[in-house]
Amino acid sequence: MIERFLSSYSNRFVSRYLILAIDGGIVVISFVIACILRFNLKVSDVNWALYKYYLLTLFISRLLCFIYFRSYSGIVRHTSVEDTSLIFKAITLSSFLTIVTSSLLTYTTDNYLFYIPISILIIEYFISLFLMVASRFLVKDIYKTLIANAPGEKVDVLIYGAGALGILTKNTLLRNRYKKYNIIGFIDDNASLNFKTVEGVQVYPESEAIHRFIKDRTDTNLEVVLAIQHIKPHRKNEIIENFLKQDVVVKVVSSVYEKITDQQLKSSEIRPIRIEDLLEREPIQIDNQNISLLLAGKIAIVTGAAGSIGSEIARQLVRFRPKTLLLLDQSESGLYDLENELKQRFRQYLGESTEIVVQVADITDEIRMRYIFENYRPQFIFHAAAYKHVPLMEEHPYEAVKVNVFGSKIVADLAVEMGVTKFVMISTDKAVNPTNVMGATKRLAEMYVQSLNNRFHSTRFITTRFGNVLGSNGSVVPLFQKQIQAGGPLTVTHPDVIRYFMTISEACQLVLEAGSMGKGGEIFVFDMGEPVKIADLAQKMIKLSGLRLGKDIEIQYTGLRPGEKLYEELLSDKEHTLPTYHPKIQIAQVDTQAFLEIANSLIELKRILKKGDKALLVNNLKIIVPEFISNNSIYETLDDLELK
């Protein structure tokens, strides 16, 4: 009952106009008390007939200053130092103006009836200041007491970071009208703050906070909010890990790396930790100006635009104001959703500066692709269309070869024919020493576009190679999320399997950067950070969901899938790298083959493709890509035949 009343009426019950009226009443009371004190409690000695005009003068001065400084506009139940400062400024200025006005009138008219005794004004000044500040903190204390004693679930919170962002976080949590947060302490690495108080809340070192509030805790209604404005990724990861080990829910202020300018924080910006928050990397910086100069006013195509990578590339491309952004995919629903999203989110970029064009098309349909290229004459191509799921492509090598190899060939050949300036191909770490059909087809596509770059110099072909992308369609993170929602178990293929991970945004930023710096023929390799054990990833996601491994949910090991290997590589044994001006991007030095040699191999591969024989097709693929050695696959027998 109390909680519902406070939630519904707290803003109206102590409105700003009521606060202004109370402040006006305090001015009157303070002046009366000051007069009585000035005349040694002898009320009869006060000339009330004259002093009422003094009061009116002071009241008008105070009212004008209250309105100017808006000292009445703060939410009383969240009164802070800033509110006290506004009251101090308003009262000080109004007292000063009253004294100046009184003195000037007395001096210019020689009439002491206008002179308000300074002693009364000084006494009134301190009484008003005390009563106004005290009244606000009294209301705040009453509100906190009522909330604390109201029925319902309460959440204790430790805020990691006692600086400006930590204080904002505290005030934001206390303003939440739908959940009762109790700030039990700050945690800070600054030893000089230990066991001191910040806005009435004590600051603890991390070890002391864990010992005092977490170690022997029986209930689970405790959260830790990470609110540090500048923090190294390694240290952030270390802090999060320490609390996850204690089975504590950890949240983070999403603007950790942003400058706070408006001193405001929304409740939505205090969010649960996501798995990408645990990637130990500094934020990636790209040369936006260079990319903008390259793409502004140009025509660009994104193939596979409805996919995870293609759609993010499209989102980032819009910001650089291309003349036309053509989104191509065979998924009509995906394209429909993307088009609506872009038009809603990026209205300021669309219209006169950028036109969004959607084309439902299959990259393996040469007639359709030629029609699109001839009509739009693109200058830049970002080729993200591909089949990527390893086990499925082991089952369907025909589709993998058809799309990943010959679909890419059609787009690349048209790029040369139409004089496209740059062709950026999205590849994968699975193309390195491939152990599966998908990786081998992507490696063959790399080989073909490189051979085109060596033969035709009108179009610059650039390849970007990176590992797994967090949150992409069909990746392990969305799979684990669904399995957690279903109650488990989480399926991991092998306890020792490791992968490189990168967020979708990071990957696409680097794709655009590599595309802008590429001169043609390069295979750009991205710094993926440290590899992540999938089993560890599963455990972290369980803990981030507030569940306990072995009690609430299980991990089940299912064995390596067809074509899968324990670890991925960004470079083969024969490859080396050269640095670029961007610390996150390197160039792989890869042996290239002559165009005619690759072209003849593809003619034979296409002939075999028409037969539809899986084994024959994969065997020919192994001949063209000799480093393709199958792993945990039915095609391992083909490798054995070659050895014999």
- Catalytic residues, by residue number, are 430
The phi and psi torsions of 42 (rounded to 5 degrees) equal -95, 95
Q: What are phi and psi of 519, to 5 degrees?
A: -100, -10
How far apart CA 588 and CA 571 sit, in angstroms, is 7
Return the residue matching tokens 């179009």: 459
Query: Do 525 and 587 touch, CB atoms closer than 8 A?
Result: yes
**Are 541 and 348 within 8 A, CB to CB?**
no
CA dist., res. 486 & res. 156, Å (int) = 28
DSSP H helices, 377-486, are 390-395, 397-400, 408-417, 437-455, 476-485
Number of H helices, E strands in the chain: 22, 22
- Nearest CA among 420, 479, 491, 484 for reference residue 449: 420
CA dist 74 to 87, 134, 136, 199, 270, Å? 11, 15, 10, 17, 22
Amino acid at 541: M
C-alpha span between 525 and 510 (Å, rounded): 10
Using the structure block, give the residue that is written with the tokens 């060939």.
409
The answer to whether the CB of 311 falls within 8 A of the CB of 384 is: no
Q: How many CB atoms lie within 10 A of CB 415?
A: 26
**Considering only CA atoms, which of 284, 294, 286 is closest in space to residue 460?**
294
510 near 584, Cβ under 8 Å?
yes
Alpha-carbon distance of 540 to 642, in angstroms, equals: 43
Coil/strand/helix, residue 52: helix
d(CA 23, CA 27): 6
Work out whether strand 555-557 and strand 201-204 pair parallel, antiparallel, or are unpaired.
unpaired
Cβ density class 249-287: b for 16+ within 10 Å, e for less: bbbbbebbeeeeeeeebeeebbeebbbbbbbebeebebe
Measured distance CA(371)–CA(138) in Å, rounded: 75
